[in-house]
Amino acid sequence: MKIYFDNAATTPMDPEVIQAMLPIMQNGFGNPSSIHSWGREIKTHIENARKSVAKHLNTSPAEIFFTSGGTEANNTALFCSIRDLGVKHAITSPIEHHAVLHTLEELKAEGKIRLSYVELDEKGHVKLDHLEKLLSESKEKSLVSLMHANNEIGNLLPLKETGEICKKYDAIFHCDTVQTMAHYKFDLQDVHVHFITCAAHKFHGPKGVGFLYINHAVKIHPFIFGGAQERNMRGGTENVYGIVGLAKAMDIAYAHLEDHQKHVGGLKKYMAEKLLENIPGIQFNGDTMGRSLYTVLNVAFPPTDFSEMLLFS
């Protein structure tokens, strides 16, 4: 019997998602930029998906832009904030996903920004008082880029409180929500955030598709040029069946959200308890049973000969 433990990296596609995508893959060959009936029909699928996503997040469809996934969405938010919004100072944490961390390090190396790192507490949570200190001392326009949930240790950022700190100091706030999208409810009318990101394969959707939310209060230019797709924001023919699959996966996730949280959270708690009972010296990284993502359990096995083989298996 094989059991898959790596859902934080990617999830298997839901059979209902596959069924929703198949008709587009088989018959939906029209280019959504074409004005004839085949193109217009396919364009309708994209816009219906956009409306569905926006409804789940309580925002406008005009603020949702489909991308190739979370990495592109994060890069777009970061590069365009610095190029178009006057940002000269970026603040992040040392344990962000590389899609954010390496991007900001490259921008620093190019001399485009000054880069600061917010301090973490002993469990790996962002110290919000230090974030406020960094913002209060900054003389330049600042960008704050912090993930909603750490993809490795699972720690959750208090999203609304962080947004209010950014608002207080007129900072641009980008939140990498790839690990939490469709796992938690988002009300974007109630949170001060300029950019959030998504990758469909984190919630039983297809790989190679995601979206970037851009708050209407900020205006940026395209990151990828070459066409007028996505309302002139992203050049390139849309991944139509991927977009349809993303929307379907999100519909399913939000229809069963509370049951899923309870079930998977219970599995996490059960596994932690059994590991503690059966393996002396085992430890957990992050705030395992505190302010933590219910889908992530980060385990540190005691040094033994089997540790690496266990991970490999």
Q: Indicate whether 160 and 291 sit together in one domain.
A: no
Give dist(CA 218, CA 63) in Å, integer: 10
Could you tell me the two tokens for 174?
Answer: 């980008």
Give percent above pLDDT 70 in the chain: 99
CA-closest candidate to residue 16, choices 204, 240, 199, 184: 204
Give residues with Cβ within 8 angstroms of 54, minimum separation 6: 60, 61, 63, 64
pLDDT average, residue stretch 178-205: 98
Looking at 204, 219, 254, the residue that finishes a domain is 254
Structural domains counted in the chain:
2
Q: Indicate whether 82 and 223 sit together in one domain.
A: yes
**CATH code (residue 91):** 3.40.640.10
Segment 209-230, tens digit of pLDDT: 999 999 999 999 999 999 999 9
Q: Indicate whether 180 and 236 sit together in one domain.
A: yes
Segment 125-136, tens digit of pLDDT: 999 999 999 999
CB 272 within 8 A of CB 284: yes
Give residues with Cβ within 8 angstroms of 88, minimum separation 6: 82, 113, 114, 140, 141, 142
Looking at 214, 230, 254, the residue that finishes a domain is 254
Give dist(CA 181, CA 258) in Å, integer: 14
Angle at CA of residue 115, ends 113 and 121, nearest 5°: 160
Q: Is residue 77 part of a domain?
A: yes
Q: Is residue 76 part of a domain?
A: yes
Range of the domain at 103: 22-254
Q: Indicate whether 291 and 232 sit together in one domain.
A: no
Looking at 206, 221, 254, the residue that finishes a domain is 254
Q: Indicate whether 154 and 281 sit together in one domain.
A: no
Q: Indicate whether 198 and 270 sit together in one domain.
A: no
Q: Indicate whether 95 and 238 sit together in one domain.
A: yes
Query: What's the pTM?
Result: 0.95
Q: Indicate whether 273 and 162 sit together in one domain.
A: no
Q: What is residue 175's predicted lDDT score, i.e. its pLDDT?
A: 98
Q: Indicate whether 147 and 266 sit together in one domain.
A: no
Q: Indicate whether 50 and 174 sit together in one domain.
A: yes
Segment 80-111, tens digit of pLDDT: 999 999 999 999 999 999 999 999 999 999 99
Q: Is residue 124 part of a domain?
A: yes
How far, in whole angstroms, is CA 174 from its chain's centroid?
10
E strand map for the chain: 64-67, 89-92, 114-117, 142-145, 172-175, 195-199, 210-214, 283-284, 299-300
Give dist(CA 197, CA 70) in Å, integer: 6
Give dist(CA 17, CA 242) in Å, integer: 10
Q: Indicate whether 86 and 29 sit together in one domain.
A: yes
Residue 244 has pLDDT above 80, yes or no: yes
Q: Indicate whether 60 and 206 sit together in one domain.
A: yes
Residue 312 has pLDDT above 80, yes or no: no
